[in-house]
Structure 1
Amino acid sequence: MVTLDRPRIDQVTAWKRSEVVFDDVSLPEAVTEMNRYNREPIVLVDDAALSRLRVSGSYRAGDSDGFAHAAATLHGLLMRRVDGRFELLRPQ
Structure 2
Amino acid sequence: SQQEQTLPVLMEQLTVANLRYHHLEAMIQQLHERFPAPAPAPTATSTSGPEPTLQAPGAVGPPGPETLGPTEVTHFRPAPPLPCPTFSG
Write 1 or 2 for the structure with the bigger share of strand: 1
TM-score where L is the length of structure 1: 0.21
TM-score where L is the length of structure 2: 0.22
Question: 1 or 2 for the larger relative contact order (CA 8 Å, sep ≥6)?
Answer: 2
Q: Which has the larger radius of gyration?
A: 2
